[in-house]
A and B are shown apart, each in its own frame.
Chain A
């Protein structure tokens, strides 16, 4: 079957879809013939690359996205069932095979999986529906307008005739493809906008859901890589005599990521790896120290930013006024690992004789996976079959390809399928991290408490211009790294050129508060630490910075933090609306128990608006996060319960980072390893969470990420309300401890001075 002859959604490289334009409007005679040919050959009606109606009235849906927990399988099934008018249980969904022609680049990320498909998938379904109705009308000799379709049954309004859609599968394939099929109005929706139970829940509670590591193939080998202490260090000497004696070991060899042990079983590979003696050379990150980078950033932060994409009014002049109070502070956020519950893994089989390869990958990017496997295995791209498994968490981590490159490189050595499994420690130590971010904030409020200036200088690694750490890992479309000649001298760490500031400044450049003089600048930091999108990307630190600093300004102005923000959001009604609603729902300003306080924050990301109030405080000197009240405006909420689930998840992910998480480098070595040293919230630390949806008529927007950015600042602001201590450095647990100890020392000194004075 020639797939390219189908109608398709045209997709842009960023994953954005050019909605519907190529979809149904250009049904050429050739395409019509193609639909008819498929029907003739296989008996199914397949009007486009997404929807297939079978004679048994079941509908197959090919989804060009990955399910990583965000609920895309359920949402896409619902979109199709709604528009085609079939029962949810009659839709059989699977992840589409990699095909750039049919589905574009196939990228799952940016909280776009559902919003992007809201129109195109319904156009696909409506096309099928109209062709099925036309076929029924022709077959019964009646007018289409007298027919209706519901729960997969087409019926005539008066003559009593009815039949399931599958009856017309063959005939539908001979109908004209509608130029612009009519989509249902929102008022006509039966299941969209309502709570639908997840379609993947059954498989996920019975253990039947197949994640990457659950792929079992006949004759499959397992691989484990013993990695260097520092990223990029080559194995200069390998003593493997003892390791080779472990039963089941098939081969031990070196690749540029480490020493590979391949065995019949993973436990054998792991046992053998423990017996290897390896001498490692100098690593790419030798000498790199994240604390040192922080100090260098501090020294540099007073300079002019390399880029200043926002410059309203005159910040310099406003700061020089003698009637203003100036705040000059630093906000710090560390490198972070995604640490999804399933460590990295991938299964590859290369069939050299037939020039074919097949990959079973928990990936957020199918087409690039296909390109990479083709390149490494040296087979034509169209001969690489990509099977997407369920993702045991993604959060951005499975949008990079190191584990795919590694497993393909290893599989080249064998005629058998090979499954590569990482250890948890390697997952933590060899991640592509959320960049460390250093932020200098300078603001000014006047005597009336009005903010007059806001300056934000962000120093962090760019996600766009990163170096290709292992040859072949980065795809063609990420620009060549330009930093080869940079020295490690402190100034050399900071690029003065024009590295795109997009992700580094998202949520900072568009700081929404009405302040007359605003400057937002960025200086890219050059370091060899691999960095990547991490749930909510730049918003993950900029939300913290902006919403904490505006809180500081409110306090400097002696204003209520909620009222202060509200007064500055006239130009942003949706942000103002979520802020007002969260204040109401959380009873902002209510009396809190001793030692507790409320903190508020709002942030706009991925098209959505989210505000949160957090109640937190100290119990026996330990920080306790008691309750989070959240309001989300994500336009039309397609499945309210799943929107809530995503916001809850975003909050807990954000609080884990805010409270506990940091990845630190000492002499190039990551200091964290497993879940004991890289901690996440556990149930007993998890607050009560109440999510309210502010349903609007706007188009659906993201929900996977927007719940995260307000969580850290709302908590920081609550801690300030409770203790008077300002959290400017993540993670908060150690920072709060440090500030409390400092205060104790100051208190003791004061007391000592006081008693000394009293004694005199």
Chain B
């Protein structure tokens, strides 16, 4: 077995797994990053959402061999200990999480969306975020938090 090279959260890692192992399980079991969650295994719920070169993908349905040179970003790679991402801050302010299991995927989807569409309309939010399921029913708050994140990002930019 040839080791697979993975650029993840700014580091390069090598893992010895077959190429068809889902990226999700490489992230969780080989690299020990457990922020990314297993929900359905079929790209239906979005709990496993990570970024490949900034684009949101469902890591349960991407073979690790298909990642190639693209940079993988997980929740652990989007913030610093004393400096949360504006989306995370907004999530806390709006009391979004309940059980919290889907929220990592929700946040990763929102971050990817905002990097491309910094000020999304309700329809754009619906279109992107409907890929992420939440059984606790936090959708109204996720929507509010995304709008709050837009404000926080603007404030941070204005302050700099």
Which residue numbers of A lie inside 8 Å of B, CB to CB? Answer: 67-71, 195, 197-198, 200-211, 213-214, 216, 222, 265-267, 339-343, 390-395, 421, 423-424, 641-642, 645-646, 648-653, 656, 674-676, 680-686, 688-689
Contact = CB atoms under 8 A, between A and B. Distances in A.
Given A205-B84, A265-B25, A648 B126 contact: no
A683 B142 contact: yes
B37 A342 contact: yes
Contacts of B98: 69-71, 645-646, 649
A340 B135 contact: yes
Nearest 6 CB-CB pairings of A with B:
A207-B35, A652-B137, A204-B100, A69-B99, A69-B98, A392-B101
Given A68-B99, A197-B92, A390-B100, A680 B135 contact: yes
A688 B130 contact: no
B124 to A, nearest CB: 11
Given A206-B84, A266-B25, A341 B39 contact: yes
Contacts of A343: 38-39
Contacts of A392: 37, 99-101
B44 interface: yes
Contacts of A267: 17, 21-22, 25-26, 29
Nearest to A394: B99
24 contacts: A67-B99, A69-B97, A69-B100, A203-B100, A204-B100, A204-B103, A205-B88, A205-B103, A206-B35, A207-B76, A208-B35, A341-B133, A342-B39, A390-B100, A393-B101, A393-B135, A645-B95, A646-B98, A649-B138, A676-B42, A676-B44, A680-B135, A681-B139, A683-B142
Interface string B133-152: 11111111111000000000
A651 B137 contact: yes
Contacts of A676: 42, 44
- Give the most central of A202, A209, A267, A423: most B CB within 10 Å: A267
Interface of B: 17, 21-22, 25-26, 28-30, 32-42, 44-45, 47, 74-76, 79, 84, 88, 91-93, 95-104, 107, 125-127, 129-143
Contact of A339 (B97, B126, B130, B135): B135
B25 to A, nearest CB: 4
Q: Is chain B's binding surface mostly helix, strand, loop or mixed?
A: loop
Contacts of B100: 69, 200, 203-205, 209, 211, 390, 392
Contacts of B38: 213, 342-343, 421
Nearest to A341: B101
Given A197-B93, A198-B95, A683-B139, A206 B39 contact: no
Contacts of B103: 204-205
Nearest to B40: A424
B76 to A, nearest CB: 6
Contacts of B30: 265
Contacts of A395: 135
Contacts of B21: 267
Contacts of B45: 341, 424, 675
A585 to B, nearest CB: 16
A648 B141 contact: yes
Contacts of B34: 207, 210, 213-214, 216
Nearest to A392: B101
A211 B141 contact: no
A688 B140 contact: yes
Contacts of A675: 39-40, 42, 44-45, 133
Nearest to B64: A267
Nearest to B34: A214
A683 B101 contact: no
- Give the most central of B127, B141, B143: most A CB within 10 Å: B141
Nearest to A535: B135
Contacts of B107: 205
Contacts of B91: 201, 205
B110 to A, nearest CB: 11
A201 B137 contact: no
Contact of A686 (B22, B39, B75, B140): B140
Contact of B137 (A202, A394, A681): A681
B92 A341 contact: no
A512 B40 CA distance: 42
Contacts of A67: 99
A649 B22 contact: no
Given A206-B88, A683-B130, A684-B130, A390 B25 contact: no
Nearest to B75: A207
Given A207-B34, A649-B98, 12 more contacts: A67-B99, A69-B136, A197-B95, A205-B88, A205-B91, A205-B103, A340-B135, A392-B100, A424-B39, A645-B95, A652-B139, A680-B135
Contacts of B96: 201, 205
Nearest to B97: A204
B104 to A, nearest CB: 5
B149 to A, nearest CB: 11
A228 B138 CA distance: 35
Contacts of B142: 683
B137 A393 contact: no
Nearest to B21: A267
A609 to B, nearest CB: 20
Contacts of B138: 645, 648-649
Given A197-B95, A202-B92, A424-B39, A683 B143 contact: yes
A642 B99 contact: no
- Give the most central of B38, B129, B136, B138: most A CB within 10 Å: B136
Contacts of A652: 137, 139
A641 B99 CA distance: 16
A424 B41 contact: yes
Contacts of B79: 206
Nearest to A425: B41
Contacts of B133: 341, 675, 680, 682
Contacts of B39: 341-343, 424, 675
A116 B21 CA distance: 47
Nearest to A213: B38
Contacts of A681: 137, 139
Contact of B92 (A205, A340, A421, A680): A205
Nearest to A428: B40
B9 to A, nearest CB: 12
Nearest to B128: A683
- Give the most central of B25, B29, B98: most A CB within 10 Å: B98
A653 B100 CA distance: 15
B73 to A, nearest CB: 12
A394 B76 CA distance: 26
B92 A201 contact: yes
Nearest to A338: B135
A390 B140 CA distance: 23
Given A204-B100, A642-B95, A649 B137 contact: yes
A424 B17 CA distance: 23
B136 to A, nearest CB: 5
Given A207-B35, A213-B38, A682 B130 contact: yes
A642 B134 CA distance: 17
- Give the most central of A198, A205, A343: most B CB within 10 Å: A205
Contacts of B104: 205, 207
Contacts of B143: 683
Given A197-B95, A675-B44, A342 B101 contact: yes
Nearest to B45: A675
Contacts of A674: 40-42, 44
A641 B127 CA distance: 27
- Give the most central of A69, A203, A208: most B CB within 10 Å: A69
Nearest to A267: B25
A207 B36 contact: yes
B92 to A, nearest CB: 4
B99 A340 contact: yes
A198 B98 CA distance: 9
